Amino acid sequence: MEIAKPYLMFLGDVHDQLAAKTAQGVVDWRPDWCVGQLRLPGCKADCGLKDVSIDEAVKLGAQTMVVGVANAGGVLPEHWVAEIVTALEQGLDVATGLHKRLNSIPEIADAAARHGRKLHDVRFSDQAFATGKGTKRPGLRLLTVGTDCSVGKKYTVLALEKEMVAQGLDAAFCATGQTGVLISGRGVAIDAVIADFISGAAEWISPANDPKHWDLIEGQGSLFHPSFAGVTLGLLHGAQADAFVVCHEPTRKTMRGVQHPLPTIQQVIDRTILEGSLTNPAIACVGIAVNTQALGEAEAERYLAAVTEEHGLPATDPIRYGVAPIVAEILKQFPR
Q: In what order do the strands lie in the sheet with 243-248?
A: 171-174, 214-217, 140-146, 243-248, 284-290, 315-316
Q: Is 174 helix (H, G, I), strand (E, B) or coil?
A: strand
Estimate the share of the chain in helix, then strand, then coil, as percent rounded to the nearest 5. 40, 15, 45
What band does 65 get if pLDDT is binned at 50, 70 and 90?
very high
Specify which residues 321 forms β-bridges with.
none
DSSP character for 195? G
Superfamily of domain 7-121: NAD(P)-binding Rossmann-like Domain (3.40.50.720)
Q: What is the pLDDT of residue 182?
A: 87
Q: What is the pLDDT of residue 212?
A: 97
Enumerate the CATH 3.40.50.720 domain ranges in the chain, comma separated.
7-121
% of the chain with per-residue pLDDT over 70: 99
Enumerate the CATH 3.40.50.300 domain ranges in the chain, comma separated.
140-333
b/e sequence 228-267, b meaning 16+ C-beta within 10 Å: beebbbbbbbbbbbbbbbbbbbbebeebbeeeeebbebee
Q: If you count them, how many residues does the chain have?
A: 336
Q: What is the pLDDT of residue 41?
A: 96
What band does 2 get if pLDDT is binned at 50, 70 and 90?
confident
Has residue 1 got a pLDDT over 70? no
pLDDT tens per residue across span 174-210: 999 888 888 887 789 898 899 999 999 999 999 999 9
Q: What is the pLDDT of residue 274?
A: 98
For the four alpha carbons of 11, 227, 28 and 118, in that order, the dihedral sign comes to negative
- Residues 140-333, CATH architecture: 3-Layer(aba) Sandwich (3.40)
Has residue 298 got a pLDDT over 70? yes
Query: Average pLDDT, stretch 47-55?
Result: 98
Q: What is the pLDDT of residue 39?
A: 98
Q: Which of 9, 97, 7, 94 is nearest to 48 (CA)?
A: 9
Q: What is the pLDDT of residue 303?
A: 98
What band does 231 get if pLDDT is binned at 50, 70 and 90?
very high
User: What is d(CA 219, CA 317) in angstroms, rounded to the nearest whole number?
Assistant: 17
